Structure 1
Amino acid sequence: MTVVREYDPSRDLAGVENVEQRCEVGPSGKLSLFTDLLGDPICRIRHSPSFLMLVAEMGTEKKEIVGMIRGCIKTVTCGKKLLDLNHKSQNDTVKPLYTKLAYVLGLRVSPSHRRQGIAFKLVKMMEAWFVKNGAEYSYIATESENKASVNLFTEKCGYSEFRKPSILVNPVYAHKVDVSRRVTVIKLDPVDAESLYRLRFSTTEFFPRDIDSVLNNKLSLGTFVAVPRGSCYGSGSGSWPGSAKFLEYPPESWAVLSVWNCKDSFRLEVRGASRLRRAVAKTTRVVDKMLPFLNLPSIPSVFKPFGLHFMYGIGGEGPRAAKMVKSLCGHAHNLAKKGGCGVLATEVAGEEPLRRGIPHWKVLSCEEDLWCIKRLGEDYSDGALGDWTKSPPGASIFVDPREF
């Protein structure tokens, strides 16, 4: 008999780590990623407003953990409503529509105990907790090629395919990346960053209502705005007027992004690489380190535990916005290099117009991450929201770094 219960760190840590390791390592001879959660299996969800981890346990006398699942709940933007302040079309404006959204992640079942309904039971128990805590929707992210995961959620658990964003990953080189001299990068304090995001991005799908908690978290390394050098905002210290005034009188082109330190939550490791691949990677690093002025791309040491920084809240406007984003990515790269990270990553909508400014290696990236969604209760009034699961995708999404 399988018993599903809440995770107890005092007695479950070793069992959970054993399942994690058995699930992460792929077939012999193939590259696979191992995730090291730094001794804290709930580190990826503990920064969310509400979270829970469940474990599946089997056995009577000698009990064994054979699976686990993590989940969290927050309030996010799911759409927008057009307002007519004085019944004249010239004065129309919009306001965000919010919903309570749950997220399922970290579903694992030991390879020796699969096809026994354990994963389904874990999902249903987690969904019961979601409903009890007022969540209206639940969503998961999985690889489109992971047929077992897709079938579990879409065929057995009632989820439907919803969004297909892209995970873009770039290695952190041994050399610093040059940031264009035509661009000035300004670091905002958390209060100003919150103001900018709420004024400009609050109607973007999946925007977290508690963005202030994200920006003030110790893992958030800062929010950065790129503007043309020589503009009134790029002329040096003291030229930033505040986000409200900036958005009222913006430069011709600008961009913004924030950086999240995943390195202090988990580390990754590529396993199953041949000696030849390891040797080639080491050679590129040696050459890059000896001749940094050549700006040669090098492969970081990903065959031992490495960390990453995550870029989120990417946005901007103007004909040169993509170039501004590229400069911000260069700045973020140098932060990651200083922090000892192996890669720099982000996730954006498949149709995001600014993605062309985000440097990435195709071999490291996932062009089509699959998000599936489910409406948890039929008793919710549609009201102004309607059924979010049936809404068409927008050009942008806001990816919460707490859930990456």
Structure 2
Amino acid sequence: MVESMAVVAIREYDAERDRVGAEAVERMCEVGHSGGAMSLFTDLLGDPLCRVRHSPPFLMLVAELVSGPERAIVGLVRGCIKTVACGSPLLLPSPAKHHTAPAVPIYAKVAYLLGLRVSPAHRRRGIALKLVRRMEEWFKEKGAEYAYMATEKDNEASFRLFTGRCGYSKFRNPAILVHPVFAHRLPLPPRVAILRLTPADAEALYRRRFAATEFFPRDIDAVLANPLSLGSFLAVPAGCSAAARWEGAGAFLADPPASWAVASVWNSKEVFRLEVRGAGRWRRGLARASRAVDRALPWLRIPSVPDLFRPFGLYLLYGVGGEGPAAAAHVRALCGHVHNMARADPGCRVVAAEVAACEPLREGIPHWGRLSCAEDVWCVKRLAEEYSDGSLGDWTKALSPPSIFVDPREF
């Protein structure tokens, strides 16, 4: 039994001395979300920093038990800081025939707190609170104006800690939409052309069209250039001028087709693995049977269920956006294209996207409800007493926008 007066020190993570202990805490605190009788668990790939090292600056703190005969890591937390769009006070008119000019964004320096873990034997001793407060001190030292975190709506302990003791408030409720990768290719609509964008064209399109979208990262160029970003893709009508001859993002935006959509792909398979647990034998048997029938009768194109009961990876769609009456249909074509990409990658068994609860393009993102999370919870806290831009006001009180930009580095 742990003594009630055990002394815990909060300090920065040292990979050489702390890795084994941090990994042990991660294993003891596997997390996931429930879907009926099943749960989807997350497992990092042996690198405790893998979920933040792509978002400089970042920090990882550990809670070390320093009293008693042996020292041990009993808790940890990660944090990173970036500059994101948090709204727009202005919408400029434009002479272009298909659209208005992009809104002028207001940016804020925002910190993201994730991966809070405390070993089961040391909970209810204030360790999580100490980790959060020490991380917030670092956020303030770096000039962060806000901090936010994400948790499952059913994670009552986490929700109570952040909203009840740490001063966070419920802010956004995005949905995580997950679709399995089948053994066969999905047919793509012949009336839609899929174009691969260069990172420069993708950056130009995102900055011109979506820079004012809430949580849009100011360093989108770094996101698109990251080795884990597998490409950006544009869906347009097959007969439009852009499909016939691509002349760059500038020319496209000067005269876009009536409907189009864009999305980028992030290889989360190299960051963490997932695993479905708690499924009964009959569910596992049905999944195996669907794969067996699909292998025997491939011409039927049965949507067989991949093996999700062993660790597997995923591709994440990020930067999902578009314009026009058929934009959702174009998003669906992009999802099919990414599915076919994932199909060729061993170990990648699902494609996921995280979008705002009221995202207009959500209907174009295919997903299975049992694998998805209909309501994630983002909570936010104001850290700075003064704002970098006085016209912003208090972002924590802003109404929910129709769209948000989910940074794949923090998924």
Instruction: Give the TM-score normalised by structure 2.
Output: 0.92
Q: Structure 1 residue 292: deviation in Å? A: 3.0
Q: How does 1:232-311 map to 2 (within 5 A)?
A: 232-235=241-244, 239-311=245-317
CA contact (8 A) 1:25 1:32 kept: no
Give the distance between the partners of 1:93 and 1:330, measured in 2 at CA.
Answer: 28
Q: Output the aligned Cα RMSD.
A: 1.9
CA shift, 1:8, in A, is 1.2
Gaps of 5+ in 2: 1-6, 94-99
For residue 355 of structure 1, give the secondary structure of its aligned residue in structure 2. helix
The runs of 5 or more residues in structure 1 that have no matched partner are: 86-90
Give CA deviations for 1:232-262 in whole Å, capped at 9, x if unaligned.
1223xxx112111111101111100000000
**Which residue is equivalent to 2:376?**
369
Which residue in 1 is equivalent to 2:320?
314
Which residue of structure 2 lines up, in the alignment, with residue 11 of structure 1? 17
Q: Mean alpha-carbon deviation: is it higher for 18-27 or for 120-129? A: 18-27
Structure 2 residue matching 1:54: 3-state secondary structure: strand
The offset of 1:66, in angstroms, is: 1.1
- Give the Cα separation in 2 of the matches to 1:49 and 1:15: 24
- Whether 1:218 aligns to 2:262 is no
**Equivalent residue runs for 1:135-284 within 5 Å:** 135-235=144-244, 239-284=245-290
Instruction: Tell which deviates more after alignment, 158-167 or 57-66.
Output: 57-66
Contact 1:199–1:244 (Cα < 8 Å) also in 2: no
Change over 3 Å in CA distance of 1:300–1:231 after alignment to 2? same
In the alignment, the residues of structure 1 paired with residue 364 and residue 32 of structure 2 have an alpha-carbon distance, to the nearest angstrom, of 33
Change (3 A) 1:84 1:193: closer
Query: Residues 122 and 345 from structure 1, CA distance in 2 versus in 1: closer, same or farther, beyond 3 angstroms?
Result: same
Instruction: Encode CA deviations 1:204-250: one digit per residue, 9 max, x unaligned.
Output: 00000000000000000000000111111223xxx112111111101
The whole-number CA distance in structure 1 between the counterparts of 2:20 and 2:126 is 23
Offset at residue 30 of structure 1 (A) = 5.7
Q: Is the 8 A contact 1:221 1:259 kept in 2?
A: yes
| C-alpha displacement of 1:63 | 1.0
Q: Paired residue for 1:360?
A: 367
- Mapped to 2, the partners of 1:113 and 1:218 lie a distance apart of 38
State the shift of 1:84 in Å: 7.2
Superposition deviation, residue 290 in structure 1: 2.9
Alignment of 1:106-117 (within 5 A): 106-117=115-126
Q: Which residue is equivalent to 1:88?
A: none
Report the 3-state secondary structure (helix = DSSP H, G, I; strand = E; otherwise coil) of the residue aligned with 2:222: helix
Give the match for residue 342 of structure 1: 349
- Indicate if the aligned counterparts of 2:151 and 2:158 stay in contact, CA closer than 8 A: yes
Alpha-carbon contact 2:32-2:41 (below 8 Å) kept: no
CA spacing shift, 1:233–1:293, aligned 2, 3 Å: farther
Partner amino acid, structure 1, of 2:377: L
Deviations 1:262-288 (A, max 9, x none): 011111122333333322222212222
User: In the alignment, residue 388 of structure 1 is paired with which amino acid?
Assistant: W
Q: Is the 8 A contact 2:116 2:128 kept in 1?
A: yes
What is residue 391 of structure 1 aligned with on the other side? 398
1:298 maps to a residue whose letter is S
Q: Give the secondary-structure state (helix, strand or coil) at the position aligned to 1:116.
A: coil
Q: Is 1:102–1:139's contact at 8 Å kept on the other side of the alignment?
A: yes
Structure 1 partner of 2:71: 63
Letter in structure 1 aligned against 2:75: G
User: SS of 2:62's equivalent?
Assistant: strand
Q: TM-score, normalised by structure 1?
A: 0.94
1:41 counterpart residue number: 48
The answer on whether the counterparts of 2:106 and 2:389 sit within 8 Å (CA) in structure 1 is no
